[in-house]
Amino acid sequence: MKNKFVKSLTLGGVAAALMLSGSIALAKTVHVKMIAKETTIEIDNKGTKYPAWTFDGAIPGKVVRVKEGDVIDFELVNPKSNKESHSMDFHAAEVDVLDEFGPVKPGNTKHFKFTAKRAGVWMYHCGASVMAQHIARGMYGLIIVDPKEGYSDKFPKPDREYVLAQGQYFPDADDAKAMIANKGWAGSLINGKMFNYDPVHDPDSSLVLQSKPGERVRIYFVNANINEPVAFHPIAGIWDKVYINGNPENVLEDMATYNVAVSEAGIFDIVSPADKPTNNAIVDHAMQAALRGAITVLMNKPDADPKAGKNGNYIVR
Ligand SMILES: [Cu+2]
């Protein structure tokens, strides 16, 4: 089993020292550039092709990670070769929907800045018309805004970190009306593929999430479905902590299932038993979604890949 990982953004930027009530805090400017790509991707482990619309060619788009208080200096490029207008809507931003989030025509570029004032985990997506279609075809991802307080007893440092983005797959990519009406929904995508990490139900699947027994695995999850909530549950396990919207202040403990609204993102921690190898199946417990592909195997074994879920290897590819 060979896993490849997509690295998160390198958070470059200009550090500016700010004097805050006697203490010194560092606020960075983080440059983030994305290119809207209308491209063909594989939507399952068999290699079925789909005319996707994406940020940078992948579903989900890259993980943006900053610290509370950082300024995001964002650029969206919509190449001339594209047919559609695209846009960017960061749920972590408080701006003007008609200005910053407005559409960018093919051949144009948009530039805007915002300050990530609130800690959490937030969806981003294209909001160009028809928005349901732009999301269903793949234009979404996650921005993680780490709390400026850092880790604490309430918000322990994880051993491994993974991103899971769930979306709805409509094979008729041109029928936006059907998408809005939830007609023709044929699959649940996890990080862009049905049964992406589920060799149990799909013999063509060769990837899983991995950890060592007893490790704290932190899942950053976004419900990028256009219509359906997600009953997020780790089979054979319990969420040790759920941070609603990814904010350490919004903590729930010892949860079986948490219902994630459309467009909601959050943090889900699971700690497997330390004394033996185990497996979990992280699912959307709504059967219509699980059986369409929303099942992810997490293997907790002593010989877990030491790089899996470490150092920004959030998305298993
Ligand atoms: Cu778009």
Between the two ends of the chain, the Cα-to-Cα distance in Å is 11
The answer to whether 5-146 and 160-316 have equal CATH topology is: yes
Tell me the C-alpha distance between 167 and 137, whole Å.
9
Q: State the distance from the centre of ligand 1 to the C-alpha of 128, rounded, in angstroms.
A: 5
- 103 CA distance to ligand 1 middle (Å): 8
Q: Measured in angstroms, how far is the CA atom of residue 57 from the centroid of ligand 1? A: 12
Report d(CA 133, CA 152) in Å as an integer. Answer: 40
Distance CA 228, CA 3 (A): 30
Give the distance (Å) from ligand 1 centre to CA of residue 176. Answer: 13
Six-digit token pair at 266?
């959050």
pLDDT, position 4: 44
Token digits for 25? 């805090």
pTM, two decimal places: 0.92
Give the model's pLDDT for residue 27. Answer: 83
Q: Where are the domains of the chain?
A: 5-146, 160-316
The answer to whether domain 160-316 has CATH 2.60.40.420 is: yes
Which class is domain 5-146?
mainly beta
pLDDT digits (tens, 9 = 90+) for 59-98: 999 999 999 999 999 999 999 999 999 999 999 999 999 9
Report the distance separating Cα 109 and Cα 164, nearest Å.
Answer: 29
Tell me what the mean pLDDT of segment 191-203 comes to: 97
Q: Give me ligand 1 centre to Cα 92, in Å.
A: 18
Averaged pLDDT, 122-133: 98
Give distance in angstroms: CA of 293 to centre of ligand 1: 24
pLDDT (tens digit per residue) in 42-69: 999 999 999 999 999 999 999 999 999 9
SS3 131: helix
Instruction: Determine the Cα–Cα distance for residues 120 and 67; give it in Å rounded to an integer.
Output: 10
